[in-house]
């Protein structure tokens, strides 16, 4: 009788232990059968069939102990099943497995965390589905929001982490492309400041991309080409106006920007030639008297020949050429010059003739500039500069020394 009572207590202890292990979740039918079996032993005990009751109790204890010993394997199997279900997104299977696992081992925090993940898995999957749909439709910001929500529900959910990384990359790429598009649009309409700002923004979005730097180089090139175009327009205008000095300035400015430009090289050479020709023509026209010298007269004739080569396309040059030609035609026509004195002053026309002490003389001189000097002992020298122009009529020139020293 006492042995049966002790054995019955052991049955109860094992039942309590199994209940603490959540046996109803993983071996309910077997546990219920053993419970009924223990009750039958209790009935035999109350009927004072102690030997038969003891046999029932001992059989029940053996089978209860087998259940207790199987809990560890059940735990391992459910952990394996739950982890697999989590990875595959099987929320129901994961939830069932970790409910069993946490019932068997109530102290393991990692199992509680896995149970939390299993409980959130359906919400996680719903957020992921919404995110994938938004991503497919190109709604990247919305997709990122859904993936972030999924990650917040389960920080270990790898697809959510991958989705966030992917969407951040897509959003960054879209921002980069928008900035580049804006930059090129601004470049096309010559809004270089806005274009440079947009290229710099693109460079901050994707620092390792060379495209923004290439774009900025295009801006620099466009700015330079615009400047060249402006200078070329000005140079062409000055060429048409035959303002050769100004044209030279513009062509030189172009070559300072790009010395390989043929139009500027050729334009500069032509402008310099035309400016030189213009200066040569003007030199003789401004002072025809210098053609008194034979070498200067020959230079004037060469200037006319050179001018004839461009006179057809340059009315201004043609006009200058004709004017100089007329001056050349009279450069060797002598002009009568009467020089008078007092018979006591020694008179000389420099580089022409020493006249001596004269009262009056008539000379034939070519157009030009002459210096006439009078000298007399005891008197201050006198000097007269004669600028003799073709076609002019002169009054007699009186040269005499009258101021005593």
**Could you tell me the residue ranges of all domains in the chain?**
1-107, 141-228, 239-331, 335-398
| pLDDT value, residue 39 | 87
Tell me the per-residue pLDDT of 327-336, one tens digit each, with 9 for 90 and over: 999 999 999 9
Angle (CA) 243-247-250 rounded to 5° is 150
Alpha-carbon distance 375 to 370, whole Å?
A: 17
**Residues 120, 154 contacting (CB under 8 angstroms):** yes
| pLDDT value, residue 24 | 84
Burial of 367 (C-beta count, 10 Å sphere; 0-12/13-18/19+):
buried
pLDDT tens across the length of the chain (405 residues): 566 567 878 888 898 888 888 888 888 888 889 988 888 887 787 887 878 888 888 888 988 999 988 999 999 999 999 999 998 889 899 999 999 999 998 888 899 989 989 988 999 999 999 999 999 999 999 999 999 999 999 999 999 999 999 999 999 999 999 999 999 999 999 999 999 999 999 999 999 999 999 999 999 999 999 999 999 999 999 999 999 999 999 999 999 999 999 999 999 999 999 999 999 999 999 999 999 999 999 999 999 999 999 999 899 999 999 999 999 999 999 999 999 999 999 999 999 999 999 999 999 999 999 999 999 999 999 999 999 998 888 899 999 999 998
| pLDDT value, residue 11 | 83
User: What's the alpha-carbon Rg for the chain, to the nearest Å?
Assistant: 59
Q: Collapsing DSSP states into helix, strand and coil, what is residue 132?
A: helix
Q: What are 249's two structure tokens?
A: 């300035």
Alpha-carbon distance 397 to 323, whole Å?
A: 30
Q: What are 16's two structure tokens?
A: 């309590």
Query: Taking the domain 335-398, which CATH number applies?
Result: 2.60.40.1120
**Residues 289, 335 contacting (CB under 8 angstroms):** no
| pLDDT value, residue 10 | 85
Tell me which residue of 91, 87, 98, 109 sits closest to 158, measured CA to CA: 87
Tell me which residue of 251, 244, 286 sits closest to 265, measured CA to CA: 251
The answer to whether the predicted template modeling score (pTM) of the entire model surpasses 0.75 is: no
| pLDDT value, residue 300 | 96
| pLDDT value, residue 94 | 92
Tell me which residue of 51, 44, 47, 41 sits closest to 14, measured CA to CA: 41
Q: Collapsing DSSP states into helix, strand and coil, what is residue 375?
A: strand
Tell me the per-residue pLDDT of 128-163, one tens digit each, with 9 for 90 and over: 999 999 999 999 999 999 999 999 999 999 999 999
| pLDDT value, residue 205 | 95
**Residues 383, 373 contacting (CB under 8 angstroms):** yes
Q: What are 198's two structure tokens?
A: 């947009």
| pLDDT value, residue 47 | 80
* C-alpha to C-alpha distances, 253 to 23, 236, 263, nearest whole angstrom: 96, 13, 13
Q: What are 102's two structure tokens?
A: 């946490």
């Amino acid at each position: 009788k006492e042995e049966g009572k002790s054995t019955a207590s052991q049955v109860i202890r094992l039942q309590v232990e199994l209940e603490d292990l959540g046996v109803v979740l993983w071996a309910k039918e077997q546990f219920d059968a053993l419970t009924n079996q223990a009750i039958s032993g209790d009935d035999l005990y109350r009927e004072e069939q102690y030997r038969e009751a003891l046999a029932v109790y001992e059989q029940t204890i053996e089978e209860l102990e087998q259940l207790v010993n199987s809990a560890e394997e059940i735990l391992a199997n459910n952990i394996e099943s739950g982890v697999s279900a989590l990875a595959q997104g099987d929320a129901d299977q994961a939830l069932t497995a970790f409910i069993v696992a946490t019932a068997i081992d109530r102290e393991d925090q990692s199992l509680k965390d896995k149970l939390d993940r299993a409980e959130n898995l359906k919400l996680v999957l719903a957020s992921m589905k919404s995110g994938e749909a938004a991503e497919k439709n190109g709604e990247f910001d919305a997709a990122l929001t859904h993936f972030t929500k999924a990650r917040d529900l389960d920080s270990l959910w790898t697809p959510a982490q991958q989705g966030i990384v992917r969407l951040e990359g897509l959003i960054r790429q879209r921002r980069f492309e928008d900035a580049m598009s804006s930059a090129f649009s601004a470049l096309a309409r010559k809004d270089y400041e806005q274009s440079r700002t947009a290229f710099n923004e693109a460079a901050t979005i994707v620092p390792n991309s060379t495209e923004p730097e290439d774009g900025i180089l295009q801006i620099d090139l466009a700015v330079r080409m615009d400047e060249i175009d402006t200078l070329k327009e000005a140079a062409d205008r000055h060429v048409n106006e035959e303002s050769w000095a100004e044209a030279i300035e513009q062509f030189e400015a172009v070559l300072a920007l790009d010395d390989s430009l043929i139009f500027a090289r050729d334009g500069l050479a032509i402008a310099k030639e035309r400016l030189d020709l213009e200066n040569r023509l003007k030199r003789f026209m401004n002072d025809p008297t210098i053609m008194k010298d034979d070498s200067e007269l020959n230079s004037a004739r060469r200037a006319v020949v050179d001018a004839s080569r461009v006179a057809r396309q340059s009315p201004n040059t043609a006009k200058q050429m004709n004017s100089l030609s007329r001056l050349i035609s009279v450069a060797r026509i002598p002009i009568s010059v009467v020089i008078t004195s007092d018979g006591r002053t020694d008179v000389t026309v420099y580089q022409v003739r020493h006249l001596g002490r004269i009262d009056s003389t008539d000379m034939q001189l070519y157009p030009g500039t002459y210096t006439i000097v009078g000298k007399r002992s005891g008197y201050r020298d006198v000097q007269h500069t004669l600028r003799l122009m073709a076609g002019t009529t002169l009054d007699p020139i009186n040269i005499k020394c009258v101021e005593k020293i």
